[in-house]
Structure 1
Amino acid sequence: MKLVLFLAALILIFFLAYIVSNQRSEIKMKPIITMIGLQLVFAFILLNTEFGLVIVRGVSTAFDYLLSYAAEGINFVFGGMANEGTSPFFLNVLLPIVFVSVLIGIAQYLRILPFIVHYLGLLLSKVNGLGKLESFNAVASAIFGQSEVFISIKKQLPHIPEHRLYTLCTSAMSTVSASILGAYMTMIEPKYVITALVLNLFGGFIIANIINPYKVKEDEDLIEIREDKKQSFFEMLGEYIMDGFKVAIVVGAMLIGFVALIGMVNHLFEVAFGISFQVALGYVFAPFAFLVGVPASEIVQAGTIMSTKLLTNEFVAMMDLAEITSSLSDRAVGIISVFLVSFANFSSIGIISGAVKGLNEEKGNTVAKFGLKLLYGATLVSLLTATITGIMLK
């Protein structure tokens, strides 16, 4: 039964991508099949092998240390604000982003990240059927984030055609930034965060190869890494500290607004129809939850969490998941968790188009024009990742 659902989910996801494809005759099946195979291999390793367990434990332990170091700075500034036994979300989940941002800045300053991103991008381009720029951008998105990544290719933005820009934006929305991984790991199991990070990277290429297939000429595929004016080490530290703090504040502000709005809409909907808006949307997403492998008795709960992520953001959905985890099976929790690890939500359309527009107004308007199709593609990536995870979980 699990295999039947897996195949049915793949067929549905590919069909949903195919019906909106720009050039169906240009779809290349070889890289798609190759990357599905790679997703299955990586999912099996990360979820079901001792080697994968070692990797997950290693990454999780590293982030535990990072979060403990971050806590020292947070406690120095905000110590005593929290009541004993409480765990304020802003202090424990959002503010550690500041410290992780600093570490990313140091790796960037020492030219470690550009080296990794550049050559890993070149390697990925050998299997994904797309250009080196697309591969570079996907890896960079997983490190820098969906808005910051476009700074690394700002010199090329004026020359990037619309079809390639769509793929770049899909990668940015489908992945998550390294600075925020620690925050996710405080809310869901680290193994699901890492698994989703890897699977989404390939999933973005797969969906883009169906929705937006094209060929890239060699002379159109130069990779440039942004060269900033030379900063001193401490100038760089100050910049990344402030960048991390801005991210924490922005995410916090969005959560305040979205959680409050959901509360109001749920109340009004319940008064009018006797059911909350989130639960109503849960029934819409329930069939998708069933296909990706969630047990039938839990599909409405799963669908509710999935729809919440799409309408608001992954943090709101992860908080909702944490509240009902005890009532769900481990299998359902795993599948929902990997679905949540991406930036595929309505607010990201504005974030990405705004980031691009800040660098090039014309290209920013182009992104806004295909914004809904961008979210559509990124959501299919999340469903594909959930499907791959579902076949691998017991």
Structure 2
Amino acid sequence: MLAASSVQLANLTGLAGIAAVIATCYALSATRNRIDWRTVIWGLVLQIAFAVLIIRGETIARLFDLFLPGAQSVYLIAILLQLAVLFVVARYIAPLAARTPMLWVRRIVLAEIVIYALKFNVVGALFDALKNGAEQVLKYSSTGAAFVFGVFGSEEGMRSAFSTALGDKTASVAFVFAFQVLPTIIFVASIFSVLYYLGVMQPIIRAIAGFMSRFMRASGAETLDVAANIFMGQTEAPLTIKPYLANLTRSELFTLMVSGMCHCSAGILVVYVSVAGVDMRHLMASVIMTAPGAIMLSKMVIPETGTPETAKNGAKTHSEASDTNGPVNVIDAAARGASEGLLLAANVAAMLIAFIALIALMNGIWSSLRDLAIAHTTGSLQQVVTAVPLTIQQLLGYAFAPVAFITGVPWGEAVQVGNLLGTRIVLNEFVAYIELGKIKALLSPKSFMISTYLLCGFGSLTSIAIMAGGVGALVPSRRAELAALGLKAVLIGVMSNILAASIAGVLF
């Protein structure tokens, strides 16, 4: 009974997280009277609906079994419903309006699709397939890495090679980040380059953008950029709307920045699965949920007061395939993707070396100052100094523990999850995911799941320079504005992830 009450309390704290995010964005709004509450409502509805399909999809399917048992009955009822409505339309409504029959046909087909999707948990099955696909990508990547690096290229090879010499200690050396994770970045970059060359990704991005633009009253350019951020990085996604960047309104520009801060590119998600053991389904759910969340929160903080260039006519994707400097064939696309992946892998390696060493340096300085303070104080003051956290990570954990708690993390684990969130904001999400993998066994399944959502975004203090430099190079006239909005974009980007984590926490 007590355990059930604790679970219900954790779910209710997730509701507090949702309310806190909305209230904070309202308080930070530049012009509160211009907030479009339809955008806010639809942003919440889309996120909650998608989270329900991912986290509670099987439950919904079982509920349908109570009323529509068996697959055949579902098809039969749908067909009978379609025939009945078409009969009514043809006999009574069609003579009144020529467009009515086709309108009703579309509605019926849409209703059937929704019923089938809910009954058979189609979204859940799709994300299970993505999860299995990610696992296969890791295996294929290790095949290429093993060819280049030998036994160092796969964890299994390392275990086999060192099991005789090290015995039980083999596990401590079996995983080598440089040889087993970085090659995955190269392989995935090559895959996505081929997909973009073949034109597979562009229709998906346009479909997502059109869906959000219709329901959330956002312009074509900003929704296209937000949709692209699901699959691309924070500096690559703006390339899809390059012709429109110079004329974006301030609100559109802020939405572009927030979207870059709260998303992780699909190509890097596979690496997070490798280093932290997180569930690919929740990673993909996070990047999709934060798409409407980014629009919703950015439009609250900086509402649209101008007239966007693409408000009515939408925006066309600026495709690399149409560029004269683009790949000439599939082989060229794969090779270019591998080269770009190599640069990204080298950047990740350099960043990890520098940042992890920086953490050690900061902890060393912090520890020395703490020891010095203890040595030069006495009595109650010394007791206060002794209670100060031993490391920067612990300090961040205490600072962000309340944030973790309102997303649904139990208070006993809030400091650990708060530490991860602080690490993500101060350094970056990659370091945070590595730390998450180290403490996976210490967290409950719910806290681990919520952490997956909290960390799934590029937004950090270091990302301000990346955003200002990358997007600023595409539109130099907006560079000062990009820099001025940078800190606020990081804040709202992180809050988009907190909102997604809170929704997931309520439903888990």
2:316 aligns to what?
A: 224
TM-score, scaled relative to structure 1 = 0.94
1:250 aligns to what?
A: 347
Counterpart of 2:24, as a letter, is: L
Identify which of 384, 388, 391 aligns with 2:503. 388
Counterpart of 1:60, as a letter, is: K
Please give the alpha-carbon distance, in whole angstroms, between the structure 1 residues aligned to 2:217 and 2:11.
27
Counterpart of 1:389, as a letter, is: A
Shift of 1:131: 1.0
2:282 aligns to what?
A: 192
Shift of 1:362: 2.1
Shift of 1:39: 1.4
Shift of 1:317: 0.8
Q: Deviations over 1:68-107 (max 9, x none)?
A: 2222221111223468231112232222121211121112
- Residue correspondence of structure 1 range 19-58 to structure 2 within 5 A: 19-50=27-58, 51=121, 53-58=124-129
1:98 aligns to what?
A: 186
Shift of 1:38: 2.1
- Residue correspondence of structure 1 range 333-344 to structure 2 within 5 A: 333-344=448-459
Flag as ranges the 4+ runs of structure 1 deviating above 6 A.
Answer: none
- Residue correspondence of structure 1 range 276-315 to structure 2 within 5 A: 276-315=391-430
Please give the alpha-carbon distance, in whole angstroms, between the structure 1 residues aligned to 2:244 and 2:47.
30
- Residue correspondence of structure 1 range 61-76 to structure 2 within 5 A: 61-76=132-147
Counterpart of 1:213, as a letter, is: P
Counterpart of 1:237, as a letter, is: A
1:149 aligns to what?
A: 237
2:247 aligns to what?
A: 159
TM-score, scaled relative to structure 2 = 0.74
Counterpart of 2:323, as a letter, is: D
Q: Deviations over 1:302-324 (max 9, x none)?
A: 11111011111111111111111
Identity of aligned residues (%): 27
Distance 1:224 1:54, change over 3 A: closer
Q: Is the 8 A contact 2:221 2:244 kept in 1?
A: no
The two structures, once aligned, show a CA RMSD in angstroms of 1.9
Q: Deviations over 1:228-261 (max 9, x none)?
A: 1153113333322111111111111111111111
Say whether residues 1:172 and 2:260 are aligned partners. Answer: yes
1:84 aligns to what?
A: 158
Counterpart of 1:204, as a letter, is: A
Where does the alignment leave 5 or more consecutive residues of structure 2 unmatched? Answer: 1-8, 59-120, 160-173, 371-387
2:362 aligns to what?
A: 265
Please give the alpha-carbon distance, in whole angstroms, between the structure 1 residues aligned to 2:357 and 2:431.
11
Identify which of 18, 36, 47 aligns with 2:26. 18
Please give the alpha-carbon distance, in whole angstroms, between the structure 1 residues aligned to 2:227 and 2:451.
24
Where does the alignment leave 5 or more consecutive residues of structure 1 unmatched? Answer: none
